[in-house]
Chains A and B, each alone.
Chain A
Amino acid sequence: MDGKWLWMILGMGAVTYIPRMLPLVAMKAEGIPPFLQGILKNVPYAVLGALIFPAIFVIHTGDLRHITTGDFLFGLIGGAVAFITAYLGWNIIFVVLSSIAILTLSSALF
């Protein structure tokens, strides 16, 4: 095993852990001003918006600048199934499974 890569992996681990750890260890919930608290409460919805779009339309190509019709349709169909089942109040596991199932079926058919 080449030592160079092990050091790199540990370095990657450190720079990944620091942003994960600092706010959690340094913050105390009581000391935060209400305006900032409000913003932090908004973060999950904002993160989810940014995680889903535009990534869902380029799951296999990975880059919006090289988007393909097949990948776009894949995300559109899978996303629509998830949205509808979630809107109907299905359990999250079934939301995920039905989305996978429809995409497996449609790629087997077409």
Chain B
Amino acid sequence: MLSHSSAEKVKSGDWWSGVKAGIPIAIGYMPIALTFGLLARTTGLTFAEAAAMSLFVYAGASQFMALQMIAGGTGPLEIILATFIVNIRHFLMTASIGERMKEPSRLKRALIAYGITDETFSVASLNRECVGTSYMGGLIVMAYGTWNVFTWIGYAAGASLPGVLQKSMGIALYAMFIGLVVPSLKKERKALAIFLMSAGLSTLLSFFLSAGWAIVWSTLIAAVAVEILFLRKKSEVDKKQAGGGYGR
């Protein structure tokens, strides 16, 4: 009984640390979701449609893209296809998270998958070595809750934050990404190499490809190339060490 309750405590502690880790995401989502609600209204969507989008799609970039395409008179099938392309990148993220997640239940894994965004992925990947279900639950509730509630408020109020603040809060998610990655870049040369290569590639590719594809290709190329590079380096070091140990 005692051990049971202490296990429960650890779990709820994990849940709360997930919620806490979600605070910077919430700060970043707030102005974006407000803008989405407002823009959905001016595009002519009903409240239910705007709310349904945040509830069922829950992907910032593709939600804004859909509004733009609806306004431009694009058909639903084309919008769905474009959404798929923008969100292919999540495939790489959930594969990476899946490699580290302990949770054995497929149902729970499928539930957690619903809440994976660029932001929850980044926080979960860089905050913790092993991603637990309770932690992910707290993180996702915080992010998903903020995104939805502020979509409603944006639509209902028909306004966003005061101009200057609304504008400067646009930096929030990028500042969060930087804040998450810098400690690892300080510690690990390999992480720094991957980060810089992917950043450079993505900048270059953005001139030719849409943002979705640029992220997919630069992530793939940098993650594979640096892995090969470091394996070679490591095997050279191993050879040298072996040579030193057993040499004539």
Residues of chain A whose beta carbon lies under 8 Å from any beta carbon of chain B: 1, 4-13, 15-17, 19-25, 27, 29, 32, 35, 37-56, 59-60, 64-65, 74-75, 78-79, 81-83, 85-87, 89-90, 92-93, 95-97, 99-100, 103-104, 107-108
A48 with B177: CB separation less than 8 A:
yes
B27 interface residue (CB < 8 Å to A): yes
B62 with A12: CB separation less than 8 A:
yes
Residues of chain B whose beta carbon lies under 8 Å from any beta carbon of chain A: 23-24, 27-28, 45-46, 48-49, 52-53, 56-59, 62, 66, 70, 76-77, 79-81, 83-84, 87-102, 106, 109-110, 112-114, 116, 118, 121-122, 125-126, 164-165, 167-172, 174-186, 190-191, 194-203, 206-207, 211, 214-215, 218-220, 222-224, 226-227, 231
**Distance from B225 Cβ to chain A, minimum over Cβ atoms (Å):** 9
- A–B pairs, 19, beta carbons within 8 Å: A5-B76, A10-B56, A16-B57, A16-B58, A16-B62, A17-B114, A42-B224, A42-B226, A45-B195, A48-B198, A49-B222, A50-B202, A50-B214, A52-B199, A54-B203, A78-B168, A86-B182, A90-B179, A103-B168
B175 with A27: CB separation less than 8 A:
no
A51 with B122: CB separation less than 8 A:
yes
A22 with B91: CB separation less than 8 A:
yes
Residue from the list B84, B110, B125, B175 in contact with A81, Cβ < 8 A: B175
A86 to B177, CA, bound (A): 10
A43 with B93: CB separation less than 8 A:
yes
Residue from the list A19, A51, A81, A82 in contact with B94, Cβ < 8 A: A19
Residue from the list A8, A19, A75 in contact with B90, Cβ < 8 A: A19
- Does more than half of chain A's interface fall in helix, strand or loop, or is it mixed? helix
- Known: A16-B90, A24-B98, A45-B222; 14 extra A-B contacts, CB below 8 A, are A11-B77, A15-B84, A15-B87, A20-B87, A23-B91, A24-B109, A29-B102, A40-B96, A40-B223, A44-B121, A44-B126, A47-B121, A52-B199, A55-B174
A29 with B27: CB separation less than 8 A:
no
B223 with A43: CB separation less than 8 A:
yes
Most buried by B among A9, A50, A59: A50
B227 with A35: CB separation less than 8 A:
yes
B113 with A17: CB separation less than 8 A:
yes
A86 with B219: CB separation less than 8 A:
no
Most buried by B among A19, A40, A46, A83: A46
Residue from the list A12, A27, A51 in contact with B56, Cβ < 8 A: A12
A104 to B83, CA, bound (A): 33
B101 with A82: CB separation less than 8 A:
no
Please give, as numbers and ranges, the residues of chain B lying within 8 Å of A78 by CB-CB distance.
168, 171, 174-175
**Distance from B161 Cβ to chain A, minimum over Cβ atoms (Å):** 11
Please give, as numbers and ranges, the residues of chain B lying within 8 Å of A37 by CB-CB distance.
99
Q: What residue in chain A is nearest B102 (Cβ atoms)? A: A29
Please give, as numbers and ranges, the residues of chain A lying within 8 Å of B96 by CB-CB distance.
40-41, 43-44, 47
A87 to B115, CA, bound (A): 29
B94 with A7: CB separation less than 8 A:
no
**Distance from B47 Cβ to chain A, minimum over Cβ atoms (Å):** 9
Residue from the list A4, A13, A40, A96 in contact with B176, Cβ < 8 A: A96
Please give, as numbers and ranges, the residues of chain A lying within 8 Å of B184 by CB-CB distance.
45
**Distance from B89 Cβ to chain A, minimum over Cβ atoms (Å):** 8
